[in-house]
Structure 1
C-alpha cells in the first residue's frame, strides 16, 4: 500500500523545472524589458540600439540550438544546467556593471547560451521523457511557473529599479536566481526514469491501452530527416517565428507604457499582470490540449490574441483597459511555451522529438533577431508602437493559417507511410 501512495518521481522533476524555469524566465528573461527605458535614459542610448542585444541573443540561440540538442543527449543534465544558469543569470547580473551598450552586446552571448538549456530545451525534453500521461498538463504547469514567479518578480523589479536603481536591480536578480536554482537542479533533476529505476509516469496505463511494447510506444513518429523536408515542418517553423514575434512585444510593454505617460512602477505592475496571464494561460492551454487537442487549442489562442491587440491600438490611454489588455496578451503568449512543444509532438511524434524540436525553434531565434530590435527602431522612427501592433494582429491571423497547413502536412506524412 505504501508504494501505491508514493509520489512518482516525475512530479519531483516537474517541481524542479517549475522553480528553475519560473525564476529564469520570470526573474531574468522577461524582466529585461523593464530596464530598457531607465538604461536608455541614463546612458543616452537609443531604444533600437539597446534592444539590439536581444537580437544578438537570438542569433546565438539560432546557431547554438542544434549543438544544444546533441549536448543534452551526451552530457550530464545537471552539470549542463548548473553551468547554464551561471551563464544566464551571471551575465544578467553583469549588465549592472556596464557603462556602454557594447557591454550588453558582449554578455548577451553567454546569457543566450545558458538560456537555451534552462528556459527552452530542458523542460520539453525532460517532460517528454518523464510523462506519458498528463504531458500537456505538466507542460502547462511548467510554463505557468514563469507566470507565477513573474507576477511577483516583475512588480518587484519595477519597484527595485525605482528605489535602488537599474544597476543594483540587475545584480540582485541575477545573484538571487543563481543562489536558488543551482541547489534545486542538483537535488531534483534527472534525465530519464531509468536513472531512478522507474518507468515514465503513466507508462503502465499506456501499455494497458495500447497492446504493444514500451519501445514502440516511446518511439512512434517520423525521423528528423523526414520531418525537415515536409510542409508541416516549415509551417511549424513559421508558427514559432510569428508567435515569438508576437510574444517579443512583452519586452516593449514598459517603454510603450512610459511613452503613453505611465511611470515605471505602473509598467512593472502591468508586466505583473502579463505574468498572471501567462500563469492562467499555460494551465488553461495545457488542460485544453489534453482535451481538445493542440491544434484546436492553438487556433483558439491566436484568435483570442486579436482582443488585447485591438484594445492597445484603440484605447491604450485607459489605465484599466491597458492592464486588462496586457493580462490577456500574457494569457495568449503562454501558448508558445505550452503549445509549441505539444504541437511538435502532435505533428511529428516523439521518435526523434528533441532533434525536430531543436530545429523548429530556430524560428523562435530568427524572430528574436528581427522583431525585438525592429520594434525598438519603429518606435524610434515614429514615436509610436501603432505600426507594431497592426503587424502583430496580422501575424496572429497568419498563424491560424500556419497551424492548418501543418496538420495537413501531417496527414500527407501518414498517407505516405512515413509515420511509424
Structure 2
C-alpha cells in the first residue's frame, strides 16, 4: 500500500468520526417553498419595513384625502377635522409604556398587537357617526403607532444584524418613504371608487393581514438567532459571540442618571421642530417665494426621494463614524438647507437647498434608534427609547401653532426658519456633549 493510499484511508476514517454539523435539509426544516434555507433575519427585516410603511403611510401621509369627504359628510370644519392630528401627542406620552412592554414581552407581540390596534381604529372609523367617535378612534390609532413602527423595528435590527445594524436600519426605515409613496395613490383611487368608509375598512383589513404576518415571521430572542447560524445569507453578526451579548446594556435607572441621556433628549426634541414647524409649512413657503403649486409639489417629491436616500447613506455611515456623529452631520445639512431656503427667492438654488435639506432630514428616523443603542445597549432599549420620545410632544404641539402665529403676524415664515436654525445649533451642541457612557458602567449594569 502506497503512502498516498494510507493517507487517504486515514483521512476517510477521521472524517467519519466528525459529527455532522451541516444544516438539516429535510423538508420540514426548509419551510414553505424552501424559505427555511435563508437566514430568518431577512424575513424579519422585510416584515418590519412592511409594517412601518403600511402604518405610517396610512396613518400620516394619506390623511389629507379624507379631509374633504368628512367635511362633506358631517359638516365638520377644517379645524375640527385637524384636531384629530393633535391627538397624535398621545404617542409621546405612551412611548415609555410601550417600550417597557416591549422589553418584557418582546418586539413580536408588541408589533403584532399594536398593528391590530391601528387596524381596529380604521375599522371603527368606517362606521363612525359622531365627532367624538372620530377623536376616540384617532386616539386608539395613535396609541398603536409607536409599537407598530420604529421602536420594535430598532430592537429587531439590533438582534438579527448586530454588526451591520446601521445599513439595515436604513433599509427598514426607508419602508416609511416607500410605503407612503404606494399608499397615497392607492388610497386616493379607493376613495374615488368605493368611498371613504369602505377605504378605511379595507385599510383595517389589510393591516390585520400584516399583523398575522408579523406574528408568523417575527422572532426576537438570541436563541432564535443562534439557531439560524450557517443558513444562507446569514451575516457574520449572527455568530454565537454576537448573540450572547444581545442583552447587554444599561438599565433605565442608570441611563437617566447620565448626562448623555439628557443631552440626547434635548437635541432630539429641539431637532423635531424642523419636521413639525417647517416641513408642514414647506409648500406654502415655496409658493410665497414664487413657485407654482405644481412646482412646489415636485420639490416635495424630490425632498422625499433624498430623504429616503439619507436613511440608506447615513445608516451605513453610522457603522464607521458612529450614529452620534452621523446625527450631527445630518443636523448640519438641515441647517445649511434651511439657511439657503431662507434667502432664496425662487431661483434654481432653491432646488439645491431642497436636496441638501432632504439629505439631512431623512436620516433622523434611521439614526434615532441607532444612537440610543450605541449609547445604552439593548438591555432595556425599548424603555429608554420610549422615555426619550416623551419630550417630542413639545414640538408636535408647539411647532405648527408657532409657525401659524408667525405667519399670521408677519405674513411670511422667515422668523420660523431663523428660530428653527437656532434650535438646530443648540441640538448640535447637545449631541457634541453627549459622550458614550463608560463601558465599566454598562458592564456593571449588565451583571446586576
Q: Which has the larger radius of gyration?
A: 2
The higher relative CO (CA closer than 8 Å, separation ≥ 6) is in 1
Matches within 5 A, 1:222-301: 222-248=250-276, 249-254=278-283, 269-301=298-330
Structure 2 unaligned regions, length at least 5: 1-21, 26-35, 230-234, 444-448
* 8 A contact 2:98–2:382 mirrored in 1: no
Matched, 1:202 2:236: yes
- 2:441 match: secondary structure: coil
Alignment equivalent of 2:136, drawn from 87, 91, 106: 106
Q: Deviations over 1:134-179 (max 9, x none)?
A: 011111111112122323444666x659967994797388347526
Match of 1:139 in 2: 169
> 1:62 and 1:28 mapped to 2: Cα distance?
16
Matched, 1:188 2:217: yes
Q: 1:98 to 1:219 in 2, by over 3 A?
A: closer
1:266 positional shift: 6.1
> 1:374 and 1:93 mapped to 2: Cα distance?
34
Matched, 1:148 2:178: yes
1:72 positional shift: 2.0
Q: 1:57 to 1:153 in 2, by over 3 A?
A: same
Match of 2:41 in 1: 10
- 1:347 match: secondary structure: helix
Q: 1:55 to 1:44 in 2, by over 3 A?
A: closer
Number of aligned pairs? 405
* 8 A contact 1:52–1:372 mirrored in 2: no
> 2:146 and 2:392 mapped to 1: Cα distance?
11
Q: 1:137 to 1:376 in 2, by over 3 A?
A: same
> 2:119 and 2:286 mapped to 1: Cα distance?
26
Match of 1:23 in 2: 54
Alignment equivalent of 2:387, drawn from 352, 355, 359: 359
Q: 1:203 to 1:256 in 2, by over 3 A?
A: same
Q: 1:194 to 1:147 in 2, by over 3 A?
A: same
Name the TM-score, length of structure 1 as normaliser: 0.79
Alignment equivalent of 1:116, drawn from 122, 127, 146: 146
* 8 A contact 2:110–2:152 mirrored in 1: no
Name the TM-score, length of structure 2 as normaliser: 0.75
Alignment equivalent of 1:70, drawn from 100, 105, 108: 100
1:382 positional shift: 4.7
> 1:227 and 1:28 mapped to 2: Cα distance?
32
1:227 positional shift: 1.2
